[in-house]
Structures are given as structure tokens and as C-alpha cells.
Amino acid sequence: MRRRTLLAGALLAPRLARARAAGGEVDLALVLAADISHSMQQAELILQRQGYAMALRDPEVAAAIGSGPAGAIAVLYLEWSSAGDQSVLLPWTRLADAGQAAGLAGRLEAAPLRTGMQTSISGAIAIGRRLLAAAPFSPTRRAIDISGDGENNHGVPVEQERDLAVEEGITINGLPILRRGQRAALGAEALLLAHYRDLVIGGAGAFVLPAEGFEAFAAAIRRKLVLEISSPAPTGPAPA
């Protein structure tokens, strides 16, 4: 079995190399991984989707996209919930200017909404690793951008997948969505922030940038995209 696996890998490698050469060089291959678990209400799913679309249209994000040596990045948009529920909403797309980023935003807004069940951040990282390994580009950096409103509660421990990603040279950044009201008063949001900081993020320049409620998501994801797209990558937590 091992010999067959090695042979299959040897046969696949040239095809993958050709695909990456055809895709071209990019400064960053970025998986945008958005939480759609059952804790997310319909209005919140809409705000999250609109936040990503608004960020992709932002002039600062467009400037960041063109700021690296290659002048382009590759983006894939992934929705996730339970360990076996991850769906690529927008496949790998090369972005080199504001018009292309706006086009991706339009496709994102037009896609139908859906809701999943449990919260498996580890499942999102696992599929993100595979998608990055198969990306048809030659990136200088690779990153997974996780946004969500809950802790990992399904699948393998999140730090297990995080550590595998870091070993592969992937950076994981986190955008926990913090809720106001009773959850905050009970300390749940402080625990969520600590969960992302201690167990989710990892790799070179990894950082956590929370959104203070879904209404603040658009501004938070815009700032986060500017930070992670810009070269060089930020080091440590994002400044307040």
C-alpha cells in the first residue's frame, strides 16, 4: 500500500508542478474560512458575507494586493461548520487589481446562503491545508484566515491541525466574532478570544483580530486582510 501511495504521489507531482507554473507566481495564497455553524443566525450570516464583500472592494485592500513583488494574491473562499461539512464557495482566484477583487466580491454576494451544525475549526484547518497543497499557484506565503463565533466543539482538537499546518509553513490567523450582552457578561467572549489566541492561530506572523459584534465585522475583516496581505507579514498580535 505504501509503495502504491508513493507511486501515486510521484505521478501527481509533475502535474501539480505544471498547474502551479500555469497559475503563476503570487505573493500569498489565502484561504478565507467562514463559520456557518448553527449558532450563526441568518442576519449574522448576511453580515459576515457582506463584510467580506465590502473588504474585497476596499481601496486599502486593493493596494495591499498589489504591494508585494508579484503584485498579486490568490484567494479561495471556504464555508465550514461540522468536521465533515466544508464547502468551497469560491475556488482559487488570482487577484491583481481592484477590478478583479470587486468581481470576486460580486460572486460572493450572489452565492446562496446556508447554515451548518457544529463548530469544527480543526476541520476547516484540515481542508484548508489540502486546498493550499493543491493550489495552482506558486505562492511566497500561504495562510488560512479563520472567522467564527464559537470554540472548536467537533472533530479532532484544533491545536492538532494547527500544528500540522504550521509544520507545513502555513500561517493561521483568527478573527473571533465577539458577542455583546449576557455571553460577554459571563466571560464567554474572553474565553473565545483566548481559544483563538492559544489554540487556533499559529505560524509566522500569526495574529488574532477580534470583531466586536457582527456589526463591526466588515471593518475588522478589512483591517485583517490589509495586515495579512501586506508584505512583510505582521508579527505578533495586531495593534489595538
Task: Report the CATH architecture of 2-229.
Answer: 3-Layer(aba) Sandwich (3.40)
Q: Please, which contacts does 41-44 make with residues 24 or more away whose CB atoms are closer than 8 Å?
A: 42/113, 42/115, 43/214, 44/149, 44/177, 44/214
State mean pLDDT over 160-176. Answer: 97
> Does the structure show a pLDDT above 80 at 153?
yes
Domain boundaries, the chain: 2-229
Confidence band for 61, pLDDT divided at 50, 70 and 90? very high
- Of 184 and 43, more confident: 43
- Can you give the pTM of this predicted structure? 0.86
Confidence of residue 80 (pLDDT cuts 50, 70, 90): very high
Burial track 156-180 (b if 16+ CB lie within 10 A, e otherwise)? eebbebbeebbeeebbbbbbbbbbe
Mean pLDDT estimate for the chain: 87
pLDDT at residue 19 is higher than 70: no
Q: Is the pLDDT of residue 169 over 80?
A: yes
Alpha-helix runs per DSSP H in 85-216: 98-110, 121-133, 158-167, 182-185, 188-195
What whole-number distance in Å separates Cα of residue 231 and Cα of residue 228?
8
pLDDT tens digits for 102-112? 999 999 999 99
Length of the chain: 240
Contact 20, 136 (CB under 8 A): yes
